[in-house]
Amino acid sequence: MNKIEFAAELERLLRDLPDEERKRSVDFYSEMIDDRMEDGESEEAAVAGLGSPRSVADGIMENAAGSISRRRKIDPWMIVLAVMASPIWLPILVSAAAVVLSLFVSVWSVILSFAAAAIGIAAGAVGGAAVSAVMFVTQPFADAVFILGCSIMLAGVAIFGVYASERLIVLSAKGTARLFKWSVSAAGAAGRRRV
């Protein structure tokens, strides 16, 4: 077996390891073969001196499994400590979640109130136009023109308000989506760090 065949077989046997660790192991044994060849051994003898790819892979996997199991082991005292401290950290956690939720609801309430006000102003503009149409027949001309002018002004404010509300809602929805994605990724990263 030559160096390339040994490296390919070793890489195949280490397919369960993370890519970085697998590449590091294959590179390490390839360098060992190169070092033996520089010392005067033939390629086949250098490969045979390492043992079979299966025995090398078994040794690497055993070491990797030991380090993985050591990392994932949870100290029972930490669990006991977490349970005993839960009367302190659980209310703080719930309070923090309630504050974040109330801020979220408050921001959306202001935005939706602004939209409702814009729609109300638009309804006032339409109502004012209808009243001014009746006033042209029943009231003095100046009063009807004044009401019509106020209705047109309200229509302009309503157009601005509806446009601004639409932009605020879109921006807030995008911001909420980004915040949600960030919080999910942050929680996932924190969970991966603990394992």
Q: What is the pLDDT along the chain (195 residues), one digit of tens a residue?
A: 788 888 888 888 888 888 888 888 888 888 888 888 888 888 888 888 888 888 888 888 888 765 554 455 677 888 888 889 899 989 998 998 899 899 989 999 999 999 999 999 999 999 999 999 999 999 999 999 999 999 999 999 999 999 999 999 999 999 888 988 888 887 766 655 554
Give the residue from 15, 36, 57, 58 showing the smallest Cα distance to 3.
Answer: 36
The answer to whether the beta carbons of residues 25 and 16 sit under 8 Å apart is no
The answer to whether the beta carbons of residues 81 and 40 sit under 8 Å apart is no
Which DSSP category does 54 fall into? H
Total structural domains within the chain? 2
What does residue 107 show for φ and ψ, rounded to 5 degrees? -60, -45
Angle of CA points 38, 43, 49, to nearest 5° = 90
User: Could you count the other beta carbons within 10 Å of the beta carbon of residue 158?
Assistant: 20
Can you spell out the DSSP letters for 116-184? HHHHHHHHHHHHHHHHHHHHHHHS-HHHHHHHHHHHHHHHHHHHHHHHHHHHHHHHHHHHHHHHHHHHH
The answer to whether the beta carbons of residues 117 and 139 sit under 8 Å apart is no
| 186 and 124 assigned to the same domain | yes
Task: Look at residues 72, 91, 120 and tell me which one is the last residue of a structural domain.
Answer: 72
Q: Give me the pLDDT at residue 46, please.
A: 83
Task: Look at residues 37, 72, 107 and tell me which one is the last residue of a structural domain.
Answer: 72
| 138 and 167 assigned to the same domain | yes
Q: Which residues span the domain enclosing 66?
A: 3-72
In a domain, 93, yes or no: yes
| 44 and 62 assigned to the same domain | yes
Task: Look at residues 46, 72, 98 and tell me which one is the last residue of a structural domain.
Answer: 72
Q: Give me the pLDDT at residue 194, please.
A: 53
Q: Give me the pLDDT at residue 151, please.
A: 95
Give SS3 for 42.
Answer: coil
Residue 61: CB partners within 8 Å, gap ≥ 6? 14, 16, 17
Q: Give me the pLDDT at residue 195, please.
A: 47
Q: Give me the pLDDT at residue 182, please.
A: 85
In a domain, 17, yes or no: yes
CA distance 29 to 158: 74
In a domain, 77, yes or no: no
